[in-house]
Amino acid sequence: MPMHILTLTCWKFSLKFRLFSGENLRVAAWGAVERIEIGGTHISMAVNGRELYCCEHECADHHGALELVLETLAHPEYGVLEGGGDITAVGHRVVHGGTRFSRSVVIDPSVRASIRALEELAPLHNVPNNKGIDAAMELLPTVPHVAFFDTAFHQTIPEHVHLYPLPYAWFEKYGVRRYGFHGPSHYYLGRSASALLGKEPEQCNLVTVHVENGMSICAIRQGISVDTSMGFTPLEGLVMGTRSGDIDPGIPPYIMQKLNITPQEVDAILNLKSGSSGIVGRMLSRRRLLEAAMDGDRRCLLALELEAYRLKKYIGAYLAVAGPVDALVFSAGISDREWLPRQLALEGLEAMGVTIDLTANRTVHAAPGLPDIAVPASRVRVFVMPTDEELVIAEDVRGTVQGGVPVSSAAGGPVGA
């Protein structure tokens, strides 16, 4: 029977899935269940060579949503598990692994307890991640379930980098330190860039930029993460779609007094009503923000300029941290208009060895086979490529189940949980 690995990413009101089949991990299907718990729930599933399948079906919780996914994958008419094939293993994306997990692990009662204990460090993420794990282990009790941690790739960050200049007891008692996130994306971008450079990952120094509604940057030296912009939570770092990124820590208590709001309320504002959305004054998708900025919307353009300026500062710092750098690597994002913030962020970095071809930067989305947008004379190559976090998770699941060693840990970073 062929191997079928199902990867799951669960958020508060949604569940994203992808099914990989065979030893070459061919993508058999991918999709999402949206609006879980809040009504109007629907599933969409894409299969190469077929029309997009969509169906409305109310799901009161993640258990019902995953049950719908499994029924859809196995459906005799529009499913992909031919002949009633079974799921071989499930990979669960878990955002926060704390300091315990530096690699993917098979989920057992001890691992489940540890993930649940970490909910207070990432309540917006680990809580729905745990709901997905609970549902999957109940619906698929006989197959191995593997947890892939966003934070694991960054466990190689040195102590003097991951510590904050705060009372040391906060680190000892409460785990206050830099953890970093978007691990599978930075890992994928780093390994792909190494292949383009014709080098082993351990021979490469890179700066990788994950571009999406949530953004982060990572300094990779000799194949391992040595610094990253997200910290104790995903709130720190770059300007994002709804997250503020770095701000003066004196602002929250000041605003709490002025508006007479609670810590929970100011935390919600910083996570859900700040970033580009805060500057624009309304929540926009990444695609719509870029379109509006290019159409001349002053506030949208201002938001992009603020985002690009912050990114430029981080790139400059990380070129120094990871240097001498072989390549700067951007994930492609979700819009062909990502060329604008890239151009704004990279302008003026010629003295640091980064010189881009403006035409190549604008057209790279139309020519995915030519990801290098740097001019030939640029000392640092600049790659733009799609990221593939789910593939990294699936490879780790296969490695963990078959050989006991996750691929991402074997290729770089400490092994051990």
Show the tokens assigned to 372. 């290098």
Per-residue pLDDT of the chain (417 residues; tens, 9 = 90+): 678 999 999 999 999 999 999 889 999 999 999 999 999 999 999 999 999 999 999 999 999 999 999 999 999 888 998 654 689 999 999 999 998 898 999 999 999 999 998 888 877 788 999 999 999 999 999 999 999 999 999 999 999 999 999 999 999 999 999 999 999 999 999 999 999 999 999 999 999 999 998 999 999 999 999 999 999 999 999 999 999 999 999 999 999 999 999 999 999 999 999 999 999 999 988 999 999 999 999 999 999 999 999 999 999 999 999 989 999 999 998 888 999 999 999 999 999 999 999 999 999 987 767 799 999 999 999 999 999 999 999 999 999 888 766 767 544 433 233
What share of the chain has pLDDT > 70, as a percent? 95
- What letter would DSSP give residue 51? P
What angle do the packed helices 389-402 and 183-197 form, to 10 degrees?
90
Q: Which two tokens stand for residue 406?
A: 């996750």
pLDDT value at residue 417: 32
Mean of the per-residue pLDDT values of the chain: 92
Segment (H or E) for 329: strand 327-331
Give the per-residue pLDDT at 1. 64
Residues annotated as catalytic (active site), given as ranges: 150
pLDDT in tens, 259-302: 999 999 999 999 999 999 999 999 988 999 999 999 999 999 99
Q: Residue 55 burial (CB < 10 Å; 0-12/13-18/19+)?
A: middle
Q: Answer whether 413's CB lies under 8 Å from 224's CB.
A: yes
Find out whether 413 and 155 touch, Cβ atoms under 8 Å: yes
Model pLDDT for residues 235-253, shown as the tens digit of each residue: 999 999 999 999 999 999 9
CB atoms within 10 A of CB 21: 19
Over residues 339-364, the pLDDT tens digits come to 999 999 999 999 999 999 999 999 99
Question: How big is the chain by its Cα radius of gyration, in Å?
Answer: 21
Instruction: Quote the pLDDT of residue 279.
Output: 97
Q: What domains does the chain contain, in order, with CATH numbers? A: 4-153+390-410 (3.30.420.40), 199-386 (3.30.420.40)
Q: Which of 154, 292, 289 shows the shortest CA–CA distance to 210?
A: 154
Strand partners, 55: 43
**pTM of the predicted structure, to 2 decimals:** 0.92
